[in-house]
Structure 1
Amino acid sequence: MNLDHPTTAPAIRVSASAQPYPRHRLALLRHGWAQRRFGVVLLALALALVMPAQAASHRVVVYEDGNGNGQRDDAETGLAGVKLVLNERVLVLTDAEGRAMLPARGRDTIALVKPPGYAVPLREDGLPDFWRRAASVGEPLDIAFGLRRSDTSNRFEVLVFGDPQPKSLTDVDYYRRDIVEPLIGQHTARIGVSLGDIVHDDLSLYPAINAVTARLAVPWLHVAGNHDLDADAADDDSSLATFSATFGPDTFAWEEGEVVFIGLDDVIHLPGQQPAYVGGLRPAQFAFLEAYLDTVPADRLVVIALHIPLFDVDPERETFRSADRQRLFALLARFAQRLVLSAHMHSQLHYLHDAADGWTGQVPLHEYNVGATCGGFWSGLKDGDGIPDSTMADGTANGYALMRIEGSNYRLAWHPARDIHDTQIALHAPKVLRQGAWPGVSVYANVMMAMPDALVDYRIDDGPWRAMARVHEADPGMLARNLADDASDVLRGYDRAPQASVSSHLWRAPLPTNLALGEHRIQVRSDDRWRGEINAETRYRLDQAAP
């Protein structure tokens, strides 16, 4: 995690031993914030204690930019009580005039926590303008953040992209045509977020992919992934220099309506080891979380956005440090509504953390492990538009998620890319069976957004509805793609479809063969937690055959 971030040049991270704020002084700042009844007075006292006489200081003003011209005019007033974050760990409030003074110690980054009811302007590159960074060590900044009043409704939408991950400009073009262009002018989202692996190791692609995403014309937040690391970084502290130069703080907060969005870099870089990273959080991130969450009312919806899932994905090893997970759980426990958004897996899963995971809340903590925008890494057979199929290894179509917010409640939906039918259940069944054959061949239903307690039914023609059995198997559609790649004498695509993996949302049921000759309809239904009943259908035929 970067402690210091650049605006235009690569970051130099500050190691734990070289932090500009001794531990007791950082604790004092957190304590000053926690005692909110003393407000700005106690915060000012705390800051005075960490600022030696004659020290250089950053001067910040946050004001309402009434005419949106990007500069403060005489009649435009300061905004009091706006939260500012110094180097992702020190939290302060603006005073009654919208001003704050912060000590200049290192190559400091100052970020704004966007308050609800206001909008930040977009920079020339389309990214939200909510942070600044000193160009050199100790350089004092003079910052003016101009905010405009915006929609105050607590009903809004958020676009969520997991792993866009282009490897080349060709992949950026797939992203443009497959994901972004179909959304232009068709969505009503207020903000968007990408959950890491913005690119696939080639960080020079950042400007190209940002130019595409910016066409959606909403503030877009970015979380770092393991493929966003600087390849030559010697340690974790310096591993996100390029990412931070582009996107700003890798730990941030953003307030919209009755929702708090917190982005966290949870990729701990371990150079020289295999694997070269592990999921986890750092002491400075916990310092920020403790200070910031103490300012958030318990009835707010807290959304944690990160890349590596909190659950362990490999039974043989710890993929997210358990001590960090428990510490995060403790900070989230007091909130009635919370949601974790993760990515990384290039599959889709709803995980409910409970007592077995160390979660102590009265209801499980919902983690939505979002499918990848790039799906199976922009791989597979191309369609008539020259765009790869890119279905994920678990059979989930590539696409994007949409989160609908109503107050402090959320609703989730997955939208397959360029799918005019918005398919929610992918079916796989044989085209023809022999009448009277042993009924051992099944129809499979891949219910892409199924929760752990989901039920799926099917029926043949107008017969009775019967329960399908949830199975932990590979999606047969993906297996078919793998076999077709194996059997082909020529390459069917630039990259093969990913090897089929066990799906967490797959159901199976046997197809009867004792029906009349001819075609029969298969109907499948399930109750989606947020959409209600969803349906799919296909057909198979019964023929006669001689021995």
Structure 2
Amino acid sequence: MKYTSLLSSFIATTSIATTLTAQSITGIVFEDLNNNRLFDTDEPVIPNVSVSNGIDVVQTNAVGQYTLAITDDTDAIFVIKPSGFMTPVSDKNFPEFYYIHRPEGSPDGLKYDGVAPTGPAPKSLNFPLYKQDEPANYKMLIFGDPQVRDYKRMTYFRHDFIEPLIGTEASFGVALGDLAADALDIYKHYKDSISQLGIPFYSIPGNHDINFNVSSDKHSMETWLAAFGPNYYSFNWGNVHYIVLDDVQYKGIQNKKGYSGHIDQKQREFIKNDLKYVPKDMLIVPLMHIPLVNINKESRLALFDLIKDYPNTFSASAHRHFQRHDFFDSQSGWAEAASPEHHHLVASTSSGTWWGGQYDAYGTPLATQRDGSPNAYNLMTISNNAYKLRTISARRPESEQLSIYLPREIKQADLATAIATINIFGGSTKNITYARVINQSDFTLATPTKTIDPYHLENVQRHKDGHYPKDNSLSLETPSDHFATINLPANLTPGIYTLHVKTTDMFDQTDEAYFLFNVIE
């Protein structure tokens, strides 16, 4: 694949308009054969490509031309990447598919840099694209909440998720918000780090990516716009249509910097208009920061209504610092028009519990998530318009997908009440789990259980007892539904035994783990 490098204003513009209100903007989408980002007369135009002003979506005509309205409320004009083509990317591998519209620049008084004045809106705006080999089967990386608040924590992120993934086979990646932890000047280091992966990386804003010193949601994304472009948009890759959403509604500095989960009307109109040009056989994947179950019900149902006619849907978020699979059916608002349920992933977080916990031998915190699972990323494998997911933990091989909690030494008299607790890191309520004591019992179905991870409880207690540095707290242990429990056989005689656990997930992926324990008199 070939990607061009950053030009601060990458789109060729001509004929500057004289007014900012209720004007039209037009341009050409073209194949940039010589990689100069300028439309040369001998370069092919590309018809049937969607372009948007954040509300309206139009497609280029036979000569590659589009026309859109642009007003004072327009934040950006952007092209919606078609399958088989790539937009330009920056020198750090962040896609550049947009023109930011801020004639006077961002408001004064921001703590972190916003958008420099863009001047009068261009009357003509051309978007370059590049042909690329884009098979229907591919992999993508999903990062949740890197949430780095300083350079020290950036080094943790690099150690856990950049260094192991250099040379990745994934075609691209997405980060599901909270790239920063309120200190937005960390974006430079974040971009430098991501650039080392060598693949395009798309960005979704979170509640810690906000300009907090503004009075409303309207200007809460000024630094984000300058750093990453629009806070909502869409793109195609293979037979999948991804819809990036900003579901964080900021309530303003006067309201104690509060926020709520909400998909505003502008985004709903954009989705409706966007999907007019998306075939029904594509997989539709909304991506957001706050999980669907945590945004207001009206927003959730509105999104469901917009995508209900597509038989293949999936969505993902982060935010909660644990992993969970939610399944929405008719009882929870899913319309069941084209499929019986909607699957939503609350993705694993890079930062775990905010980079907390005991340091390992390399000086990196355990960063255990609130559900007791290791900090991790999700790998999504696409096969045409179907998908499967894999959770891959930091500092562990991919094969390590579960933990087993049981006393290492059990008195024979206590066997009748001895219970093994199994944490299936990427599991869901659809996992089928079996366990046996090797050479002592056959595989027995384990009981799905919503519980708190016992190892995490112990680690949290160690923190409360002062064993961890104060700034590396582990807290907020959370009951989760990706656990199973099983009783041990009561007739074991003193000796050493191996508990063998096997679990199969909703994608028919089977994982195993073993645990040795002693029975004593």
What TM-score results when the alignment is normalised by the length of structure 1?
0.84
The Cα of 1:102 is off from its aligned counterpart by 3.6
SS in structure 1 at match of 2:464: helix
Distance 2:384 2:413 in 1: 56
Aligned position for 1:397: 374
The Cα of 1:246 is off from its aligned counterpart by 1.0
Distance 1:492 1:520 in 2: 37
1:365-514 mapped onto 2 (5 Å cutoff): 365-462=342-439, 463-488=441-466, 490-492=467-469, 494-512=471-489, 514=491
Do 2:82 and 2:235's aligned partners in 1 also have CA atoms closer than 8 Å?
yes
Unaligned runs of 5+ in 2: 1-6, 10-17, 105-118
2:152 is the counterpart of 1:177: no
SS in structure 2 at match of 1:231: coil
> Which one is further off, 255-264 or 433-442?
433-442
Distance change >3 Å, CA 129–CA 338, structure 1 → 2: same
Distance change >3 Å, CA 539–CA 181, structure 1 → 2: same
Distance 1:339 1:92 in 2: 25
1:340-351 mapped onto 2 (5 Å cutoff): 340-351=315-326
Do 1:63 and 1:147's aligned partners in 2 also have CA atoms closer than 8 Å?
yes
1:7-44 deviations in Å (ceiling 9; x for gaps): 989xxxxxxxxxxxxxxxxxxxxxxxxxxxxxxxxxxx
1:166-192 deviations in Å (ceiling 9; x for gaps): 11111111111111111001x211121
Aligned position for 1:248: 229
1:504-539 deviations in Å (ceiling 9; x for gaps): 111122234532322100011111222522111111
Distance 1:121 1:292 in 2: 21
The Cα of 1:104 is off from its aligned counterpart by 4.4
Of 144, 147, 164 in structure 2, the residue corresponding to residue 162 of structure 1 is 144
Do 1:375 and 1:392's aligned partners in 2 also have CA atoms closer than 8 Å?
yes
Aligned position for 1:130: 97
SS in structure 2 at match of 1:180: helix
Of 11, 27, 32 in structure 2, the residue corresponding to residue 65 of structure 1 is 32
1:386-405 deviations in Å (ceiling 9; x for gaps): 11111111112111001111
Of 505, 511, 519 in structure 2, the residue corresponding to residue 528 of structure 1 is 505
1:294-347 deviations in Å (ceiling 9; x for gaps): 2111111000000111114xxxxxxx2211211111111100000010111101
Distance 2:120 2:261 in 1: 33
The Cα of 1:135 is off from its aligned counterpart by 4.6
Aligned position for 1:217: 198
Do 1:230 and 1:241's aligned partners in 2 also have CA atoms closer than 8 Å?
yes
SS in structure 1 at match of 2:321: coil
Aligned position for 2:115: none
Distance 2:414 2:332 in 1: 46
Q: How many pairs are equivalent?
A: 487
What TM-score results when the alignment is normalised by the length of structure 2?
0.89
Of 329, 332, 335 in structure 2, the residue corresponding to residue 357 of structure 1 is 332
2:500 is the counterpart of 1:519: no
Do 1:392 and 1:498's aligned partners in 2 also have CA atoms closer than 8 Å?
no
Distance change >3 Å, CA 438–CA 135, structure 1 → 2: closer
Identity of aligned residues (%): 28
Aligned CA-pair RMSD? 2.3
Distance 1:274 1:231 in 2: 9
Do 2:432 and 2:505's aligned partners in 1 also have CA atoms closer than 8 Å?
no
Distance change >3 Å, CA 267–CA 67, structure 1 → 2: same
Which amino acid in structure 1 is aligned with residue 298 of structure 2? A
Aligned position for 1:322: 297
1:266-305 mapped onto 2 (5 Å cutoff): 266-271=247-252, 272-273=254-255, 276-305=258-287
Do 1:56 and 1:140's aligned partners in 2 also have CA atoms closer than 8 Å?
no
The Cα of 1:274 is off from its aligned counterpart by 6.7
Aligned position for 2:114: none
1:488-507 deviations in Å (ceiling 9; x for gaps): 4x535641222321121111
Aligned position for 1:542: 519
Distance 2:367 2:242 in 1: 29
